[in-house]
Amino acid sequence: GAVVSQHPSWVICKSGTSVKIECRSLDFQATTMFWYRQFPKQSLMLMATSNEGSKATYEQGVEKDKFLINHASLTLSTLTVTSAHPEDSSFYICSASGPELNTDTQYFGPGTRLTVL
Amino acid sequence: ELKVEQNPLFLSMQEGKNYTIYCNYSTTSDRLYWYRQDPGKSLESLFVLLSNGAVKQEGRLMASLDTKARLSTLHITAAVHDLSATYFCAVGPFYGGATNKLIFGTGTLLAVQP
């Protein structure tokens, strides 16, 4: 149980375009979802925390107008990178937690690799 | 500012040898997590340590937690090539902070040589 999926797994886009990444909890209700970014050979950096039905809480230094997060249902959160640029190229990983599970445990998705040309 | 630091950052070791990875954190926390990440993949949960003195073992890996020293260790016994990966510790949640927020350590890249 506690499976989290992400779509797509890899996306290549042109500079200036927007890209949407989906994060789904397949077998539980995710009241909280987290979005992380990981640059090559670096650790995971938390970008934002989203609770279902409310606005996301962004970490310091993360532009909320550039990284749009929507958590409209208990099984789906989306991250939209608007007007992507090469410096946005990274590995984006989501995680989820919910009341059916141990609420202090996050279950991680497989990640989405974004390459901006 | 909260910091979670791991030591070493990179470790090359021979099969059959033992070694310990250290994770230091700078503020009080409820629990500590260890994850494994293979190249190009997401995180695999290894251990959750919930209290001072907690020790957990799975195969050749053993993790411990000392909340007073704000230190966790991941001990590798008789390493094998399959253990080659990057290992992260993560700390959270935090008193007075956002629910379930985790802060990740710098990561330790482990390469086990035949």
Q: Are A33 and A17 in contact (CB under 8 A)?
A: no
**What is chain B's pLDDT, residue by residue, as a tens digit (114 residues)?**
778 999 999 999 999 999 999 999 998 776 899 999 999 899 999 999 988 889 999 999 999 999 999 999 999 999 999 999 999 999 986 554 445 678 899 999 999 998
Direct distance between the N- and C-terminal alpha carbons of chain A, in angstroms, rounded to an integer: 37
Tell whether the model's pLDDT for residue A39 goes beyond 90.
yes
- Residue B92's pLDDT is 82
Q: Which residues of A touch B100 (CB under 8 A)?
A: 32, 34, 49, 97, 103-104, 106
Closest CA to B89 of B42, B14, B32: B32
| From A34, A57, A93, residue closest to B42, measured CB to CB | A93
Residue A54 burial (C-beta neighbours within 10 Å; 0-12, 13-18, 19+): exposed
Pick left, alpha or beta for residue A29 (phi over 0 → left; psi -120 to 50 → alpha; otherwise beta): beta
Give A102's pLDDT tier (boundaries 50, 70, 90): low
Task: Give the model's confidence band at A41: pLDDT under 50 very low, under 70 low, under 90 confident, else very high.
Answer: confident
Contact B45 A105 (CB under 8 A): yes
Instruction: Check whether A1 has a pLDDT greater than 90.
Output: no
CB B69 within 8 A of CB B22: no
Question: What pLDDT score was predicted for residue A103?
Answer: 58
Give B7's contacts in chain A (Cβ within 8 Å). none
Omega within 30 of 0 (cis) for the link into A8: yes
Burial class (CB in 10 A: 0-12, 13-18, 19+), B54: middle
Q: What is the mean pLDDT of residues A97-106?
A: 74
Q: What is the pLDDT of residue B93?
A: 67
Question: To the nearest whole angstrom, how far is the Cα of B74 from the nearest Cα of chain A?
Answer: 17
pLDDT mean over A96-108: 78
Contact status of A8 with chain B (Cβ, < 8 Å): no
The residue type at B71: L
Yes or no, beta carbons of B48 and A46 under 8 Å apart = no
- pLDDT of A105 reads 77
Gap from B87 CA to chain A (nearest CA, Å): 10
User: Chains A and B: how many Cβ contacts under 8 Å?
Assistant: 48
How many angstroms separate the CA atoms of A32 and A76, rounded? 10
- E strand residue ranges, B26-83: 32-37, 43-49, 55-58, 61-66, 71-76
Nearest residue, CB atoms, B106 vs list A43, A104, A106: A43
Helix (H, G, I), strand (E, B), or coil: what is residue B68? coil
